[in-house]
Structure 1
Amino acid sequence: MTTNILINRRSIQILRILVSGIFLVAGLNHLLNVEKTAQRIEQANFKGIAYFFGEPQWLIILSGIVMLSAGFLFLIGYKTKWAAIILMAVLIPITLTVQVGQITSLGPLFKNIAILGGLLFFILNDTEKKLI
């Protein structure tokens, strides 16, 4: 059963802009600080997840490029659902590798969970239709 809910267009734009910011900043950070980011992976309890996908330095560069590209598309509202899917595909392994198992820093883990919730909103809802 589908229920229609009216949502203010401006609130969707604001949510999209705010969620995209973390990916633009993180993507740039990945590209400018490859070694520092690789050290964080090396210190992570679940670093094996990163190594499963490949060499961490290359993954950092690739994820930086993807986060900047998809983050920008998400920011401007172009192919929002696909950009959100791509960003989620990058965020999940990063979260599992770096944040899970870091009992002293649960804040970043729940920040990523909240970001996943924001991305899910755009994946599950057609925000490109005409709304009020």
Structure 2
Amino acid sequence: MMRTIEAYIAPPHSLQNWADPLFRVLTSLIFIIGGLGHFGEHQMMLDRMSESPWRDTIDQIGNPSWLLWLSGGIFFFFGMTLALGWMTRLSALLLLLTLVPITITIHFAPGHVGPLFKNIAIFGALFFLYCRGPGTYAIDNRTLSLGQQLHGK
């Protein structure tokens, strides 16, 4: 019976083709908007960092303001490349590696359960993109095809 239900509600193939770019774009939006927020709401975010129970750890890692600028730049730039499906695996990996310490130092705190689990869900999306690659409608696919043409493959 479950197979019948699954077969009945399966989307058409034409819709399935759009799942990859839609997944990349929707996942990337949190980084693009968040990265811009690191610049536009810089002082507010610094204030939040200073309230973190891990603020001493943040200070040991580096200057909080510089860390905020750096993470904002990574989020924005690699959020854009992820959306485009360009350097997809590298983008997903760098976003993941940037998000992990932020999650630990900012969201492992009382009252941050929602943002903590939001970030854990994002870890899953980034890990999926890192493992699977760009999927359909991605610049990576065009670059790969061009490289194969140049090398006669």
TM-score after normalising by structure 1: 0.86
Gaps of 5+ in 1: 1-7
Contact 2:81 2:87 in 1 (8 A): yes
The question of 1:38 aligning with 2:46 is answered yes
Residue 83 (1) aligns with residue 65 (2): no
Q: Is the 8 A contact 1:50 1:93 kept in 2?
A: no
Q: Distance in 1 between matches of 2:60 and 2:93?
A: 21
Partner of 1:121: 128
Deviation at 1:74, TM superposition (A): 0.4
The letter of the residue matching 1:70 is F
1:1-132 equivalent positions in 2, closer than 5 A: 8-102=16-110, 104-128=111-135
Residue 65 of structure 1: SS of its match in structure 2? helix
Q: Structure 2 stretches of 5 or more lacking a match?
A: 1-15, 138-153
User: What is the count of residue pairs matched by the alignment?
Assistant: 123
Deviation at 1:12, TM superposition (A): 1.4
RMSD of equivalent CA atoms: 1.7
Checking the alignment, whether the CA contact within 8 Å between 1:49 and 1:93 is kept in structure 2 is no
Q: Counterpart amino acid of 1:41?
A: M
Alignment check: 8 A CA contact 2:54 2:106 kept: yes
TM-score for the superposition, normalised by structure 2: 0.75
Deviation readout 1:83-122 (Å, 9 max, x if unpaired): 00010111001100110122x2311100000001000001
Report the secondary structure of 1:93's partner residue.
helix
Rounded to whole Å, the distance in 2 between the matches of 1:59 and 1:49 is: 12
Q: Which amino acid aligns with 1:32?
A: G
Q: Is the 8 A contact 1:100 1:109 kept in 2?
A: yes
Question: How far apart are residue 33 of structure 1 and its match?
Answer: 1.6
The answer to whether the 8 A contact 1:27-1:68 is kept is: yes
After the TM superposition, which of the residue ranges 48-57 and 11-20 deviates more from structure 2? 48-57
Structure 1 Cα separation of the partners of residues 23 and 98 of structure 2: 19
| 1:65 positional shift | 0.9
